[in-house]
Structures are given as C-alpha cells and as structure tokens.
Amino acid sequence: MEIENKVLKARLIGFAVVVCIGFAANTAVAALGSFPLTGADPHVASNVMREAAVLKAATGSQANAATPSANALYRVNVVTLNSGTVVREFVATSSGNVFALTWEGPQTPNYAAILGSYSERYLRPAGKDVIRVGGVSERSLSSPDLVVQSMGHLGHFHGCAYLPQEFPDGLSVSDLQ
C-alpha cells in the first residue's frame, strides 16, 4: 500500500510539472513595457533575437556588434507574426522589458498583443492622451508616457510605439533602427 501511494504521488508531481510547463509556454505574450514576444505565442510565426543590430554602447559610440555586448543598452527582437507583419521589439538589457516597438507588413498587428496594458489607452483614449486621426488608416496617440503611431493602407501598414520614460539613458527615438 505504501509503494502504491509513493507511485501515485510521483505521478501527480510529474503531471503537475507538465501542466505548469504547458501553461508557461502558452501564456507568453509580448507587451510594451513588459517581456518580448516569444515563439510560444500563437500569433508568432518566427522569432529571432538580434544582438547584432546597431547597438549604442554606454560610452555613447555606436557599434555593429556580432555578439552580445556587455555595454549594449538594448537588443532588437525581430518577430514575424502569422499575418506576415514584422515586429521589431527594442528590449532594454538592464530590465529585459520592451521599451519600443516598430512594425511593418500587410496587416496591422493585434494591438492588444503588442501594446499589452497600453492597448486600451490607444484604442479608447482618456484624460490627457492626444489622439490624431488622418484619413482612414492613420492614427496616433501622444502623451508624456506613451507614443503610438500607426499608418498605412490595404496591404502595407507600419508604425511604432514607445515609452519615452523607459528609454535607456543616452538613447533617443532617432537612434532606433
């Protein structure tokens, strides 16, 4: 009887571990101000981390790094969504959080997936958020802590979103490529 209890207990622990791993792999979602997209997200076709983007080192000089640099302020995560839209996530090396995004492709991305908690503010602005709409497919939000710009036409959309206060020291919007 004691052996059966031990076997049952071991099976339950094994089952719990498998369930936890399954939940962890399937709940990964990108979000501005949070962690980057991963290949476990059902909307992601491919995911490539690129440390080799133009990285601005803490010294202020720019360098093309083929390998990760200890002085790099950020890395670029290039994600291709199932829709064919390519999302570039700029991830601060100090926090591991996404502080800026750019996208380009045949469809607009799922704003809830890439903007995370900020998507509500972009889709339903309130307070001091300033929304500008130009034409059918141009929309921007500007506020001290969030900027989102999305534009395009059928078959070709592009845009960017960033958190100005989350930029690594010494980095500006114009530095993002």
Question: Over the stretch 20-57, which tens digit does the pLDDT of each residue have?
Answer: 333 333 333 457 888 777 654 555 666 555 443 444 44
What is the mean predicted confidence (pLDDT) over 148-156?
A: 90
Instruction: Give pLDDT, residue 52.
Output: 35
Distance, CA of 32 to CA of 99 (rounded, Å): 6
Within 8 A by CB and 6+ apart from 122, the residues are 111, 115, 141, 146, 148, 161
CB atoms within 10 A of CB 75: 21
Per-residue model confidence as pLDDT tens digits over 122-142: 988 878 778 888 776 888 999
Domain residue ranges of the chain, discontinuous segments joined by + = 2-175
pLDDT value of residue 81:
85
Interval 90-127: pLDDT, tens: 989 888 899 999 999 999 888 888 898 899 999 888 78
Q: From CA 73, how far away is CA 91, in angstroms rounded?
A: 9
Judge if pTM exceeds 0.75: no
Instruction: Please tell me the distance from the alpha carbon of residue 86 to that of residue 81, in angstroms, as a whole number.
Output: 6
Q: 59 pLDDT exceeds 50?
A: no
Please tell me what DSSP assigns to residue 35. Answer: P
Identify the pLDDT of residue 177: 65
Q: Which of 39, 14, 12 is nearest to 28 (CA)?
A: 39
